[in-house]
Structure 1
């Protein structure tokens, strides 16, 4: 308690023994006794001796310390909050974003109401800054270039609706296709459309590249991310280097990559030389380069997921600062919060369930240095567009049969459906029921006519059978709006007038029936991000030239013994 006269605790004490319950004294009423403070102290039993003075001084000193500490803490809190706000604004200010203008199509939700994410990642070869000129070369005659370059790296990154798996599909830069009519909103450069090399679409802006890929593959593109040469350098430095392996000594005299056989940690320009090298690996074409890029990205993903990388504040700041400076994105990703959300979604996917592939190609009949879409590519496109995993839960390659079964904890073979025709069109129930059994559903599936005509299609299910209903809905392309719980048992599908033909709901906002994943991964160089022991295969062909002499990358390495390796 505090003294009603002298204020601070410890300057005076009150004798509790003199107090009687219900009795009020002059002290308790706050009335000062005659004689002033000295008399008051005498009443309360206090003295003004040295010990009392020392106690008073100590209390006052302690209060000053507390005031100073509180003031310092307040300043620290304000400074920290201010620094955090500055940091957030600083990162947002780094980001360059553009509108996608709906050029990539509209994403569809699955039977659970969730949507996948499809991002087109582009690596530009533009020399639009002094840094890019130095890194990429070729500016001695032209100087720093203006406008957009070519998309020498194109990858469709698909993150599944349930965030359980992801697919990264590379599209070789030498692919010939139809470029649609486009206009760059920034430069004003436009085209009425033409047949040409796919990477050239970027010259008309990132949205034109998105539109071209969407038209070629049928895959909805929700977002895009573009980075240039200096962006690759910044990102590799920010993560502290990326560990890669090469199968032999290699010297690509074009990208300047020079490494001895074995494992290396690449940062900065060395990382850029590795991902740019097309003459050092595989057959010396862009097809070999996509595989080595997958090896690099897989290693980077493993590093992101390794202990400490994303929990180290300094590493996170460096990465965020480098990423926001290095990237051009669509406005759907144009803030730090949105980029963090995207990173969190990708981080949910285990490395063993991130599949890297390269679009299947065939030689272009009109040009041996170009390629066209090959056999199996349509199946690969369909798996991505249909939100279908290329791996199982264990990380092994998926199959068409397992794709339906993994949609629910209940195997399709144990799910029977009563299919009723509410359209008045003969054979509708039979057609849909046959499609279900062909997809592996129970042979106990039956057909009947609905009690009355139905305007809309509904799938009713009994208590505890929602998972089975969702599996059926996913297979048939029905959205969650078509599902209804009943008081009965079993699953009953009533086909309404809104579904007059076909075995996949025509108004579907969900995924189509599973595609053939074996065909999708055939000749697609499929690998998963957890494959840490895979080495980039050095080309055995004479794909490089040194002093005018054609030779293999390994021969060039031996001949250039005086040139330091890229990681030195």
Structure 2
């Protein structure tokens, strides 16, 4: 599920309704300092935090710390969870929230019903040594068996069978989303990161836009996107439209949208490495201020110092070291707008990550794709 330049699902860093349903179980050279930003930007985290933190200005720390929102995942989920890895590898659940309330209503294109949905979900696996990473996108339309979960307010939500994956977040927030992912994968999520529509759009605008090349016209009134084939410097609004588009590309499914999202992430990483923010203190501060206002983290990452330390540990990971795939699924024959987990192939993914191994190519061979590969590439 990647653009032409996206590494394949082999060794990380190498090129690469109604009716019954089956249930799923649920290029200029820049200083090396820019490399530490690659992964954090790729997962829509705090662009600029590392460099700003290095200024040592106490008031900057105080201001940015006050911006951060956190959720105590560990407290909500308790001890009945998969074990932590003991080799230094990490799994991070990254969600892009599809909130329909308030200022996000216009951006979301939906009704202001006060609800929130996980429009984008990715498991980011950092390998031992923190030199490579694999990213597994989870289609929001996957039918799963959602486990009983307790949210961060202490309210318990009943289990449900054969429901869409993104219902976990809309039902019980971050804690239930993490619980559902851990139930599907049997992998411990060590950290949680979330960003909403407005934050994503503003970050792109403050970066000066992101340059991409589209191989065909893309027009999707639902996401408010209208692009002719060619090279574009996307504004924040256009970038948001691109990562939300599904009806304008491929087979019109959520899987095609994921392919666009993964291609855009690659373009975004390239843009950040070439934009010169590391020589512009004001731009750095503006980026960090916006990011910390719009990102939500687990409590373990809930300070600028913690984010700084964590991001510094990832500084060896560049875009070429990232493998991006989509969780293996097949279309639901009862409703082609839904997908079902391909359990045998998905187990290849979870076993590989649990053992800190590369994802085998067999895991994504013959799975549903979305047919939007190559529609968008870094310019």
Alignment partner of 1:181 out of 145, 148, 151: 148
Structure 2 partner of 1:536: 376
- Which aligned pairs between 1:248-287 and structure 2 lie closer than 5 A? 248-287=216-255
TM-superposed CA distance for 1:381, in Å, is 1.9
TM-superposed CA distance for 1:304, in Å, is 2.9
Structure 1 partner of 2:350: 381
- The one-character-per-residue Cα deviations of 1:157-193 (angstroms, maximum 9, x if unpaired) are 111121111011101011011111112223x553220
Maintained 8 Å contact 2:89/2:127: yes
Instruction: Give the 3 Å change call, closer, same or farther, for CA 523–156 of structure 1 in structure 2.
Output: farther
Structure 2 unpaired stretches of 5+: 1-54
TM-superposed CA distance for 1:89, in Å, is 0.7
Maintained 8 Å contact 1:237/1:267: yes
TM-superposed CA distance for 1:525, in Å, is 9.1
Structure 2 partner of 1:209: 177
Alignment partner of 1:137 out of 91, 109, 114: 109
Instruction: Give the 3 Å change call, closer, same or farther, for CA 311–117 of structure 1 in structure 2.
Output: farther
Structure 1 partner of 2:308: 340
TM-superposed CA distance for 1:205, in Å, is 1.5
Instruction: Give the 3 Å change call, closer, same or farther, for CA 315–117 of structure 1 in structure 2.
Output: farther
TM-superposed CA distance for 1:309, in Å, is 3.2
SS of residue matched to 1:205: helix
Structure 1 unpaired stretches of 5+: 1-81, 391-516, 527-532, 538-568
SS of residue matched to 2:201: helix
- Which aligned pairs between 1:278-297 and structure 2 lie closer than 5 A? 278-297=246-265
Structure 2 partner of 1:107: 84
TM superposition score normalised by structure 2: 0.77
SS of residue matched to 2:255: helix
SS of residue matched to 2:212: strand
TM-superposed CA distance for 1:245, in Å, is 1.9
Distance in structure 2 (CA, Å) of the matches to 1:525 and 1:92: 42
Structure 2 partner of 1:194: 160
Maintained 8 Å contact 1:116/1:160: yes
C-alpha root-mean-square deviation of aligned residues, in Å? 2.5
More displaced stretch, 85-94 vs 230-239: 230-239
Alignment partner of 2:328 out of 350, 360, 368: 360
Maintained 8 Å contact 1:357/1:524: no
Structure 2 partner of 1:51: none
Distance in structure 1 (CA, Å) of the matches to 2:277 and 2:314: 15
Maintained 8 Å contact 1:295/1:536: yes
TM-superposed CA distance for 1:217, in Å, is 1.2
Count of paired positions: 314
Instruction: Give the 3 Å change call, closer, same or farther, for CA 524–354 of structure 1 in structure 2.
Output: farther
- Which aligned pairs between 1:97-496 and structure 2 lie closer than 5 A? 97-101=70-74, 103=77, 105-110=82-87, 115-129=88-102, 131-139=103-111, 143=112, 145-146=113-114, 148-186=115-153, 189-195=155-161, 196-203=163-170, 204-306=172-274, 308-374=276-342, 375-390=344-359
TM superposition score normalised by structure 1: 0.52
SS of residue matched to 1:346: coil
Higher RCO by CA contacts (8 Å cutoff, separation 6 or greater): 2
SS of residue matched to 2:166: helix
Instruction: Give the 3 Å change call, closer, same or farther, for CA 236–346 of structure 1 in structure 2.
Output: farther
Structure 1 partner of 2:361: 518
SS of residue matched to 2:336: strand
Distance in structure 2 (CA, Å) of the matches to 1:209 and 1:319: 27
Distance in structure 2 (CA, Å) of the matches to 1:138 and 1:518: 38
Maintained 8 Å contact 1:377/1:520: yes
Distance in structure 1 (CA, Å) of the matches to 2:100 and 2:249: 24
Instruction: Give the 3 Å change call, closer, same or farther, for CA 248–320 of structure 1 in structure 2.
Output: same
Instruction: Give the 3 Å change call, closer, same or farther, for CA 287–330 of structure 1 in structure 2.
Output: same
Maintained 8 Å contact 2:68/2:296: yes
Instruction: Give the 3 Å change call, closer, same or farther, for CA 309–228 of structure 1 in structure 2.
Output: same
Distance in structure 2 (CA, Å) of the matches to 1:342 and 1:267: 29
Maintained 8 Å contact 2:123/2:135: yes
Distance in structure 1 (CA, Å) of the matches to 2:327 and 2:62: 39
Distance in structure 1 (CA, Å) of the matches to 2:275 and 2:295: 26
Structure 2 partner of 1:61: none
Distance in structure 2 (CA, Å) of the matches to 1:347 and 1:364: 40
